[in-house]
Structure 1
Amino acid sequence: MFQAILGAYGLHAEKFKIEPFGSGLINHTWKVWHEGSIYILQEVNTAVFRQPQHIAQNIREIKEYLNQTAPEYLFVAPITTLGGDDFVIIDDHFYRIFPFVENSCSIDFVQQPEQAYQAAKQFGQFTRMLYAFDVQKLKPTIEDFHDLPLRMAQFKKALAQASNDRVNEAKSAIGEIIRHDNIEAQYTQMVSNGALHLRVVHHDTKISNVLLQAETGIGLCVIDLDTVMPGYLISDVGDMMRTYLSEANEEERDFNKIAIRADVFAEIYTGYMEEMDQVLTSAEKQFFIYSGKFMIYMQALRFITDFLNGDIYYKTSYPKHNLLRGLNQIDLLNKYIAKQSEFEGMIRKIDRNKKEAHQIPGSLYSK
């Protein structure tokens, strides 16, 4: 297999060492290296991405646009084969090769607030650079990926069809999902009244999808572009809130370890708005805090739905695994909502300080 794949790029597999790479859960990824030549080889998971050609088309469109408008930006696109193709296809499996970015690294968890700032700034920069790009040129790579009304409909269907045992076991989680259904109602209203603008967004803003300078920790660029497609800022901002704010992730069974780090929230806001402040409408800015509720609630909804359906989507390691994941996210949601007033105060303070800095002659932020 490797011989055929690498041969399509003019590389000789027998000369390279090939080993699994990274912590991604969707695609299979390998590091391919030999005497200073390093590549990243990846197999696209077609069970998730049913039309890999859409991924390739989107990346080509964005690469061409950025080559013209921001040629200095580090855009990590796949290398084309000797025949000019985006993929090597073997037995209906899609493979591609990326260049390895020297002196870069990625991390799996936000350990310091500065890391959240660097990541948020990179995701904000990516969307800002593409604000004038015709978003209609992009194809959805996962249909209805962050469609909250659809997720709610799936939950209601699962609830109606679930066994009595599953419903009883999930009783408290179901009650919480229903109690917070205003989050879905608010999303529907925002979309219907045009308050949210379709933009080019990443849709998977976990910290590992940002390359950092290995020595300084400064952000270099965003990677893993398979989910880049038309969407709303609440997807990118919300996913950062969901995955950065607590040191405990959705697998944590001890909910006492789930805690919201307000200083991390401040860094997400600061980094993202440094790039997007002049791009977002005043209406969109009002939904910054809502973004976290949106994504955390949707993930809770998906876990509980899967539990009610008999655990058919997410892989599980023990009984009630998806139920616990859902309860974990509900706990995170409640703790996030409890911080809303504090978040609002932090945003006012950050904005006020930025405004005052603009007025100081010679200030780093003065215009």
Structure 2
Amino acid sequence: MELTIDKNILKAYGLTGENINIQQIGSGLINGTYLLTDLSNGKKFVLQHINTNVFTNPEAIADNIAAVADFLQTNFPSYLFPAPLVTNANQRMYLHEGKYWRLMPFVEGTIALDTLSTPKQAFEAAKQFGKLSRLLNKFDSNKLQPTIVGFHDLALRFEQFKKALSKASTAAKDKAVREIETAFVFETILIQYLQLNSNADFPNRVMHHDTKISNALLDKDTFEGVCVIDLDTLMPGKFISDLGDMMRTYLCEFSENEKDLSKITIRVAYFAAMIEGYLSEMGEILTATEKELILFSGKYIIYMQALRFLTDFLNENIYYATTYPEQNLDRAKNQFKLLEELIRNEDQLQQLIDANLVRKQQ
């Protein structure tokens, strides 16, 4: 079926609406994303509308990206940062019939992968996310607004889990009894997180917060990293958010939807490549405390995601889309297994981290 976009939206960005090919793209589940091709000159753009059910303050997203873009343009003008274009009226977004739209440049010659198939891809993606953090090291993160309040706040997620548990049906609790027990066993991760928050050597930084492989653009031929995209969650946070999310999504061959838990294992070669790529950019930037928390970042994010899936199951699946009633419970089982695998391989993984840090000091 041919896609159409209201011509008023296109005209707001100086596009006539004539001879424009429109194609829906992207694997994201939040915003609607379209590739626009101007058939008269071959120019391509990415058009997107923001899901205001998730991002309740689109202006904060626009302000954050603009502030970071200005900083990068001033200090690192050669860095490719695909910020949204302004409208003919010099607006960062276009509001049409209650929806916020934005137009972004299309980065030619690149590919966004949905899954990793080689350690090199893990290296290149991690390097790109690390590079953005390194370039923004001197940027005052207090200038940015949270675009999703409490997004990676583990204490909040644990409280939400306990609240859901207190209200859940007996049937739901019976089905999830082992996962509920596991959630409390790993509460030590929350305790460590709370202790860290008061540590001055564990600073707030500008973090991407959604570092899955599809948010790093790679060269379509060489698979070398080009830049990062999907900047909606660019906001203040801790480095463990970005590195932890990479561990959660890069280290296992299978996603959180895999029900065969025997398949949930750690790909050590991918871990080594990811750490090498990230530390090639951030190795000299991280504080001593942060360097000690590299492996903890994976525990932190994986545990938090397991809690979120378990919470949603106990809440009768009100947040994450499901195709069968126990899918969020299966996802929680999957993530708890991934966490257990990370801990089971901890000694080997920590040795790889230590060796990489030593090389950075030489």
Aligned twin of 1:137: 143
Tell me how far 1:353 sits from its aligned partner. Answer: 4.2
Aligned to 2:6: 2
The equivalent residue for 1:152 is 158
Secondary structure, in 3 states, of the residue corresponding to 2:151? Answer: coil
Deviation (angstroms), 1:205: 0.2
Q: How far has the Cα of 1:349 moved from its partner?
A: 2.5
Corresponding residue for 2:326?
320
Summarize deviations over 1:21-73 as a string: whole Å, max 9, x none: 11111100011113311111101000000000001000110111011100000
> Which of residues 254, 268, 274 in structure 1 aligns to 2:274?
268
Cα displacement string for residues 135-154 of structure 1 (whole angstroms, at most 9, x for unaligned residues): 11101100010000000001
Q: Does 1:249 align with 2:237?
A: no
Q: Which segment drifts farther, 245-254 or 33-42?
A: 33-42
Q: Does 1:59 align with 2:92?
A: no
Q: CA deviation at 1:193?
A: 3.0
Distance between the aligned counterparts of 1:137 and 1:353, measured in 2?
34
Structure 1 residues 113-122 or 7-16, which shifts more? 7-16
Asked whether the equivalents of residues 47 and 103 of structure 2 are also in contact (C-alpha less than 8 Å), the reply is yes
Q: Quick check: 346-355 or 169-178, which moved more? A: 346-355
Out of 192, 204, 215, the residue aligned to residue 198 of structure 1 is: 204
| Number of residues of Structure 1 aligned to a counterpart in Structure 2 | 356
Question: Where does the alignment leave 5 or more consecutive residues of structure 2 unmatched?
Answer: none
Q: Secondary structure at the match of 2:103?
A: strand
**Match status 1:301 vs 2:307:** yes
CA–CA separation in structure 2 for the residues paired with 1:178 and 1:153? 12
Matched residue SS, 1:192: coil
Q: Which amino acid aligns with 2:260?
A: D
Matching residue of 1:20: 24
Match of 2:122 among 116, 119, 125: 116
- 1:211 maps to 2:217: yes
Distance 1:100 1:353 in 2: 37
For residue 33 of structure 1, the aligned residue among 27, 32, 37 is 37
The question of 1:175 aligning with 2:181 is answered yes
What amino acid does structure 1 have at the position aligned with 2:50? V
> CA offset at residue 14 of structure 1?
2.7
In structure 1, the gaps of 5 or more residues are 359-367
What is the rounded CA distance, in whole Å, between the counterparts of 1:348 and 1:196 in structure 2? 19
Of all paired residues, the percent bearing the same amino acid is 47
Partners of 2:182 and 2:21 lie apart in 1 by 50
Letter matched to residue 13 of structure 1 = G
Aligned equivalents of 1:91, 1:271: Cα separation in 2: 43
Q: Does 1:338 align with 2:344?
A: yes
Aligned residue runs from structure 1 range 229-240, under 5 A:
229-240=235-246
Deviation at 1:350, TM superposition (A): 2.6
Q: Which residue of 2 aligns with 1:288?
A: 294
Find the aligned partners of 1:157 and 1:263 in 2 and give their Cα distance. 39
**What is the CA deviation profile of residues 307-327 of structure 1, one whole-angstrom value per residue up to 9, with x for unaligned ones?**
111111111100211100101
Q: Encode CA deviations 1:153-172: one digit per residue, 9 max, x unaligned.
A: 01111111111111001001
SS of alignment partner, residue 13 of structure 1 = coil
2:339, 2:211 → 1: CA distance? Answer: 18
Question: Is 2:59 the partner of 1:85?
Answer: no
The structure 2 residue matched to 1:68, chosen from 67, 74, 77, is 74
Cα 1:193–1:348 change in 2 (3 A) is closer
Q: What SS is found at the alignment partner of 1:40?
A: strand
CA distance in 2, matches of 1:160, 1:63: 45
SS of the aligned residue for 2:236 comes to strand
- Can you list the C-alpha shifts for 1:176-221, whole angstroms capped at 9, x where unaligned? 1111110011000000233421000100000100111111111011
Give per-residue Cα distances to partners, 1:234-287, cap 9 Å, x unaligned: 000000000000010101111111110011111111111111111111111000
**TM-score, length-normalised on structure 1?**
0.95
Secondary structure class of the residue paired with 2:46: strand
Aligned to 1:365: none
Task: Name the SS for the 1:221 alignment partner.
Answer: strand
User: Amino acid of the residue matched to residue 17 of structure 1?
Assistant: N
CA deviation profile, 1:71-118 (whole Å, cap 9, x unmatched): 000010111111001111111100111111111111011110111110
Q: 1:354, CA displacement in angstroms?
A: 4.6
Runs of 4+ in 1 over 4 A off after TM superposition: none
Stretch of structure 1 that moved more, 70-79 or 310-319 = 310-319
**How far apart, CA to CA, are the structure 2 residues paired with 1:352 and 1:187?**
26
- Please tell me the residue identity of whatever aligns with 1:96: R
Amino acid at match of 2:114: D
CA distance in 1, matches of 2:74, 2:261: 49
Q: Residue 170 of structure 2 corresponds to which residue in structure 1?
A: 164
**RMSD, matched Cα:** 1.0
1:221 aligns with 2:210: no
SS in 1 for 2:197: helix
Task: Write the distance in 2 (CA, Å) between the matches of 1:81 and 1:21.
Answer: 22
